[in-house]
Amino acid sequence: MAFFRGLSTISKFRSRLAEQTTSLGSVRWLQMQSSSEQDLKSQLKELIPEQQDRLKKIKSEHGKVQLGNITTDMVIGGMRGMIGLLWETSLLDPEEGIRFRGLSIPECQKVLPAAVEGGEPLPEGLLWLLLTGKVPSKEQTSGLTSELHSRCRVPDHVFNAIDALPVGAHPMTQFATGVMALQVESEFQKAYEKGTPKSKYWEPTYEDVMNLIARLPVVAAYVYRRIFKDGKFIPSDKSLDYGANFSHMLGFDDPKMLELMRLYVTIHTDHEGGNVSAHTAHLVGSALSDPYLSFAAALNGLAGPLHGLANQEVLLWIKSVVEECGENISKDQLKDYVWKTLNSGKVVPGFGHGVLRKTDPRYTCQREFALKHLPEDPLFQLVSKLYEVVPPVLTELGKVKNPWPNVDAHSGVLLNHFGLSEARYYTVLFGVSRSIGIGSQLVWDRALGLPLERPKSVTMEWLEKHCAKSA
């Protein structure tokens, strides 16, 4: 089916990275080993006891070590900068951006198996990496592709539940409804009802997570074709990898679009644990709600305009610029348009971030994709102009902590170029991808026996009294 990069490249890269990262604790466990020839579940079975011991040791030896001070600003300011979660699959650096199990996006592009020589990583490879901390071989990756195909059966009641909604309902509403309908097959729920002991919770969680990840593209494609293609559905093609098959079921078979979908699904998977969707899933999962319930909750957070819906908002905003000023808008006109948006009380979608303080590397890799495959696209050129115009305006505004573009500033124009032009659908694509990171962490939440999440809240009166005493 596909070409995969040779292991020699991986081992060369591995030794280079090992040199660079020996001082970084975050990759100590990973140590850039490629994976031994085991299947995914057997590898997890082997890793879990080691990681349970590791956590026990951290707790017993360092349980009382302080990790920072909590200020009033943090409590009323959306908990920015407050460390409050354990999240194993990825870590976000404000300057450098995301690392998946210690690997940056360019590093993932180098070491993860690809479908095309020198092309984009296969999301299945990233799923393996997120779950195990190890780079899978090409055989393991294609084995995982087949496993996901074998799990992708979606029961009819899921389609019926979606069909009960008006066709005009937002795609995220239809998608989340489909996920809730999938929940009736939860293995975790069945195991819990049977009294499965806590030490075994991770196994039915793993089954649910893998089934969920396998089934989501079918549900998502159903929603797309129902709303935008007169209900003409396209069946899954078992000869294709995860990203390519998703694109195919949506109705897009251009090889460049297949590559885009592989890149898209890979980079949107995970963004450490504090973002709204991941944190929601972690919180809901901590009540031992099964992965379907937890992920459906996450989708409802992703559907907000300050989070995942921003990808929809960006393309709609860019189209409004073109409608009002044309594609060949000058930088001065663009600057005026940005100010007009701000002065009307709106945010400039696709710019800013709760943690990042530089250009999002997920933006950069999409820009590189555009420079390689669609440099002449007029909307890409407009996005490039925005990259020059928006940051100085947001800086001048004086209050924005990060004036640089995030992942959502770029994704829409790429999808639009290949014909996926329905902006209202874009957050569903983000949701399919995010299941990979959220699902991987949910397996570890249960494997590590993480407890119910229940932070303390206080009232304004409590704050006033406490601060008066401290003064």
- Catalytic (active-site) positions: 307, 353, 408
CA distance 220 to 18: 39
**CA 15 to CA 13: how far, in whole Å?**
6
247's contact among ligand MLT, ligand NMX, none, with CB below 5 to 8 A by partner kind, is: none
From the list 22-30, 199-207, 316-324, 403-411, the region that binds ligand NMX by CB under 6 A is: 403-411
Type of residue at 84: G
Binding mask 327-346 for ligand NMX (x = CB under 6 A): ---------------x----
Min. distance of Cβ 6 from ligand MLT in angstroms? 32
Pick from 10, 158, 348, 438 the residue near ligand NMX by CB under 6 A: 348
Task: Indicate the residue among 137 and 433 with the shorter CB distance to ligand NMX.
Answer: 433
259 binds, among ligand MLT, ligand NMX, none (CB under 5 to 8 A by kind): none
Token pair 């396998």 is found at 214
**Positions in the binding site for ligand MLT (CB under 6 A):** 271, 275, 307, 354-355, 406-407
Q: What are phi and psi of 172, to 5 degrees?
A: -70, -35
The two structure tokens encoding residue 405: 């573009």
Measured from the CB atom, the residue of 248 and 307 that comes closer to ligand MLT is 307
Which is closer to ligand NMX, CB of 108 or CB of 386?
386
Tokens describing residue 202: 């991770």
273 near ligand NMX, judged by CB under 6 A: no
Rounded to a whole number of angstroms, the minimum distance from the CB of residue 47 to ligand MLT is 26
Q: Can you tell me which of 285, 350, 361, 431 binds ligand NMX, judged by CB under 6 A?
A: 350
Residue with smaller CB distance to ligand NMX, 165 or 355: 355
Q: How far is the CB of 412 from ligand NMX (least distance, A)?
A: 12
Q: Site for ligand NMX (CB under 6 A): which residue of 273, 308, 361, 439?
A: 308
What is the token pair recorded at 35? 């994976």
Query: What's the Cα-to-Cα distance from 451 to each of 30, 38, 275, 290, rounded to whole Å?
Result: 25, 30, 19, 14
The verdict on 361 binding ligand NMX (CB under 6 A) reads no
Whether the Cβ atoms of residue 196 and residue 184 lie closer than 8 Å to each other: no
Tokens 């991941």 identify what position? 278
Residue nearest ligand NMX by beta-carbon distance: 352
Tokens of residue 91, six digits: 């870590």
Nearest-approach distance from CB 468 to ligand MLT, in angstroms: 34
Three-class SS state of 142: helix
DSSP states along 371-423: HHH-TT-HHHHHHHHHHHHHHHHHHHHS--S--SB-THHHHHHHHHHTT---G
Residue 351 in contact with ligand NMX, rule: CB under 6 A: yes
Partnered with residue 91 across adjacent β-strands are: 99
Q: Which residue's CB is nearer to ligand NMX, number 47 or number 342? A: 342
For ligand MLT, the closer of residues 247 and 275 by Cβ is: 275
Alpha carbon 127 to chain centroid, angstroms: 11
99 phi, psi to nearest 5 deg: -125, 125
Where does this chain bind ligand NMX (CB under 6 A)?
306-308, 310, 342, 347-354, 394, 399-402, 406-408
